[in-house]
């Protein structure tokens, strides 16, 4: 595909591309090569050039691999003993590591309800193009049916602020929105020049410039409250690659923050945290995790309950403890009512 045709290829939402990638890697026992993925999976194949340079698409795939691993998906890389080289590596998601635990069972009524819900969710989430791609993947050696019921999809949809911000970027419009920072009770109104929307570790961020000070800020979209409104002012397009700058800064923040946690073996926490990019197992058995935002990782670790014990930093341990204490109080109050 020529660069012109690649630019004109229909835009596939990132959550559909990631979902299609997970679905494809679940549907194969032997794994898929990078070339098979890029030429077949929805979201890649539209821009794949069978006889040309796919360097940008390969970089996209590398970022997507990190994103789905950060979401706890156990993506494996398989080396072929007969063929060496990065292009001959095969990728797969072992179904046994991603299926619901064997001790979870459902009644006939519950299974029927889940089946109906899965059908509605699948029809609303999986496009015709994705279903067509599954047929092609089965021809490459995939043996399973569409894996919907029995797997827990954890891909996050885009925040409500995404579309109005993307429109503002396309039209070079200054925007205004209310932003609630962690630890603050009330939100503050921000008026900014949007520079780029980037996804880092599975979450969307806005790189922007404050109109009053000219300072460059990065906003987490999930903390934008209320509506994003255009102010009526416009701005000139920037020559620099603001997306690359924003991603580089977010990666620097992520690399500089490390948490040390103890994890109970053979639990959901162990499976998910061990698969996070950058996780290191210390000699003591504790896990060293990188993170960008203390409050986000505190929410994540608290959700594992007793399966995780935070050793450091102290601020993170206190944040997780406060979340668990709040959950205990809420459940105690509910029981008394």
Same domain, 26 and 121: yes
Q: What is the pLDDT of residue 191?
A: 96
CATH number of the domain that residue 215 is part of: 2.30.30
Please say whether the beta carbons of 61 and 37 come within 8 A: yes
Dihedral sign for Cα 11, 15, 21, 26, please.
negative
pLDDT given at position 52: 80
Q: Quick check: is 72 in a domain?
A: yes
Eight-state DSSP code of residue 47: G
Whether 180 contacts 223, CB under 8 Å = yes
Q: What are phi and psi of 80, to 5 degrees?
A: -85, 125
Domain for residue 128, yes or no? yes
Q: Do 28 and 109 reside in the same domain of the chain?
A: yes
How far is Cα 74 from Cα 271, in angstroms, rounded to an integer?
8
Structure tokens, 70? 């950060």
> β-pairing, 216-220 with 203-210?
antiparallel
Same domain, 39 and 125: yes
- Could you tell me if 282 and 288 are in contact, meaning their C-beta atoms sit under 8 angstroms apart? yes
173 within domain boundaries: yes
Contact of 320 with 298, CB cutoff 8 Å: yes
| Residue 191 located in a structural domain | yes
Tokens of 12: 């596939």
Could you tell me the residue range of the domain that residue 11 belongs to?
3-139
Rounded to 5 degrees, φ, ψ at 9 are: -65, 145
Check the CA dihedral 299-300-305-306 and report its sign.
negative
8 Å CB contact between 317 and 310? yes
DSSP state of 220: E
Domain co-membership, 21 together with 132: yes
Q: Confirm whether 82 is domain-assigned.
A: yes
Q: What share of the chain is helix, strand, coil (3-state, %, to 5)?
A: 45, 20, 35
Say yes or no: 120 and 210 in one domain.
no
22 and 90, same domain (yes or no): yes
The helix or strand, by DSSP H or E, that contains position 90, with its residue range, turns out to be: strand 90-92
30 and 108 in a common domain? yes
Number of H helices, E strands in the chain: 12, 12
Q: Which pair of structure tokens corresponds to residue 232?
A: 């009526």
Same domain, yes or no: 14 and 115:
yes
Looking at the domain assignment, is residue 99 inside a domain? yes
Measured distance CA(143)–CA(152) in Å, rounded = 20
Give yes or no for a contact between 177 and 227, defined as CB atoms under 8 angstroms apart. Answer: yes
The answer to whether position 91 is within a domain reads yes
| Position 249 in a domain | no
Q: Any idea how long the chain is? A: 337
126: number of Cβ within 10 Å = 19
Distances (CA, A) of 200 to 16, 153, 247: 17, 19, 7
**Which DSSP state fits 223?**
G
Cis before 85 (ω within 30): no
Q: Are residues 134 and 14 in the same domain?
A: yes
Same domain, 225 and 280: no
What is the distance between the alpha carbons of residues 71 and 174, in angstroms, rounded to a whole number?
A: 33
Distance set, CA 23 to CA 120, 136, 142, 185 (Å): 17, 13, 11, 41
Structure tokens at 285: 């058995």
Co-location of 234 and 264 in the same domain: no
Do residues 319 and 293 lie in contact, with contact meaning Cβ atoms separated by under 8 Å? no
CB atoms inside a 10 Å sphere around CB 91 = 20
pLDDT (tens digit, 0 to 9) for every residue of the chain, 337 residues total? 555 555 455 567 777 788 888 888 888 888 889 999 999 888 898 888 888 888 888 888 988 888 888 777 888 888 766 666 666 789 988 876 666 666 666 676 666 665 555 554 444 444 444 444 444 444 444 444 444 444 444 445 567 898 899 899 989 999 999 999 887 889 999 999 999 998 888 788 999 999 989 999 999 999 999 899 999 999 988 767 788 889 999 999 999 999 999 999 888 888 889 888 889 999 999 999 999 999 999 999 999 999 999 999 999 999 999 999 988 887 776 555 5
Does the pTM of the predicted model rise above 0.85?
no
Verify that 120 and 176 share a domain, yes or no: no
Q: What integer pLDDT is reported at residue 143 of this predicted model?
A: 45
End-of-domain residue from the set 139, 174, 203? 139
Domain boundary among 241, 273, 301: 241
Q: Give how many domains the chain has, as a whole number.
A: 3
**Tokens at residue 335, please?**
């029981």
């Amino acid at each position: 595909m020529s660069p012109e045709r690649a630019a004109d290829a229909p835009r596939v939402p990132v959550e559909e591309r990631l979902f299609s990638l997970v679905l494809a890697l679940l549907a194969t026992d032997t794994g898929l090569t990078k070339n098979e993925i890029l030429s077949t999976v929805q979201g890649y194949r539209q821009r794949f050039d069978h006889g040309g340079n796919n360097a940008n698409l390969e970089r996209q795939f590398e970022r997507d691999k990190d994103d789905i691993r950060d979401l706890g998906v156990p993506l494996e890389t398989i080396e072929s003993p007969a063929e060496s080289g990065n292009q001959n590596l095969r990728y797969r998601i072992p179904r046994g590591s991603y299926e619901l635990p064997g001790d979870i069972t459902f009644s006939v009524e519950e299974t029927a309800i889940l089946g109906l819900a899965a059908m509605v969710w699948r029809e609303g989430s999986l496009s015709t193009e994705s279903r067509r791609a599954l047929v092609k993947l089965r021809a490459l050696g995939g043996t399973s049916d569409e894996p919907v019921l029995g797997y827990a999809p954890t891909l996050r949809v885009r925040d409500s602020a995404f579309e109005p911000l993307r429109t503002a970027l396309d039209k070079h419009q200054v925007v205004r929105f209310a932003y609630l920072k962690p630890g603050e009770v009330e939100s503050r109104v921000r008026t900014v020049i949007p520079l780029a929307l980037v996804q880092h570790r599975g979450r969307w961020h806005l790189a922007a410039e404050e109109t009053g000070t000219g300072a460059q800020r990065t906003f987490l979209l999930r903390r934008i409250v209320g509506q994003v409104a255009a102010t009526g002012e416009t701005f000139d397009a920037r020559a620099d690659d603001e997306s690359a700058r924003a991603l580089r800064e977010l990666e620097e923040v992520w690399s500089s923050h490390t948490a040390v946690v103890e994890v109970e073996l053979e639990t959901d926490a162990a499976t998910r945290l061990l698969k996070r990019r950058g996780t290191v197992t210390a000699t003591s058995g504790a896990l060293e995790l990188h993170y960008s935002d203390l409050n986000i990782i505190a929410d994540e670790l608290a959700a594992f309950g007793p399966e995780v014990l935070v050793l450091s930093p102290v601020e993170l341990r206190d944040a997780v403890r406060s979340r668990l204490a709040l959950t205990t109080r809420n459940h105690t109050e509910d029981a008394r009512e």
